[in-house]
Structure 1
Amino acid sequence: MSACLMIGATALSLATGVFDLSWTHSVEKVEWRERWRVEGGALHLTRAWVRGSGAGMEPGPEASLEDDWWVWAPRLTIPALDLAASGATGAGWTLCADGQCREIGTAPGEALHLTPC
């Protein structure tokens, strides 16, 4: 199932309709990953991984520990996602789809707006 994701003013075609986001938490310095699906004009969060816990980093109540990652399947559907670009983590967000990854939001500035096309 193909889909389209707008990242700010840039359209990204998704052959599978799925993308992963990962980042390092600005306070806890812990890696977080999420898997999203674009479908029906919305973004669906289907899986999350976190390599620890702390301020704002609590795993979901049904999370299990797998290879040093807390993993769970949150069920969240939203129309759009805003990604802060604080510059406080030393890196931005990594967005991976269809076997390719790209860094987004690496410089401090306005939030990045992700929405289905």
Structure 2
Amino acid sequence: MICLGAGAAVILALSGPDFTLDWSHSVTRDRWWERWRADAAGLAPVEARIAGPGAGIDLPPDAVLRDGVWHFTPHLPPRPEVTLAASGATGGAWRICARGECHALPEDRGPIRLWQAADCDQG
């Protein structure tokens, strides 16, 4: 199960190992999209698409421009948890999608933590 929390509260629990995240870059306002996978090693991004590089972010050498969007494979190891910045400055909330359902994540509750657990209330 993929668990999402803000502060001490669990705000969402998702079943299944695959999910996507998308958001607007806080400076350039370009939309970013990532597909993630959860397995025994942790959470890892496996695919990414962005309309353009953001402030302070360079595209990796394997990025390919297709239909006006850069596509690439992030080369990051799995992590036990991921923290999403929720600054309120992006003009659009983070959105997480899994199994055909999408959820806007709150921007006013501080950083959002993602992790996996059998029971999100125990994580």
Higher strand share: 1
Q: Which moved more, 1:28-37 or 1:55-64?
A: 55-64
Alpha-carbon offset, residue 56 of structure 1: 2.6
Structure 1 residue 53 displacement after superposition: 1.6
Is the 1:59–1:71 contact (alpha carbons within 8 Å) kept by the matching residues of 2?
no
TM-score by length of 1: 0.87
Query: C-alpha distance in 1, partners of 2:20/2:100?
Result: 10
Question: In 2 relative to 1, CA 10–19 (structure 1 residues): closer, same or farther, beyond 3 Å?
Answer: same
Identity fraction in percent: 36
> Root-mean-square deviation (CA), in Å?
1.5
- Runs of 5+ unmatched residues, structure 1: none
Q: Figure out how many residues of one structure are paired with residues of the other and give that number.
A: 112
Match of 2:89 in 1: 88
Partners of 1:18 and 1:97 within 8 A in 2: yes
1:11 Cα deviation after fit: 4.9
Unaligned runs of 5+ in 2: 118-123
Secondary structure class of the residue paired with 2:34: strand
Query: Structure 1 residue 74: deviation in Å?
Result: 1.3
4+ runs of 1 displaced by more than 6 Å?
Answer: none
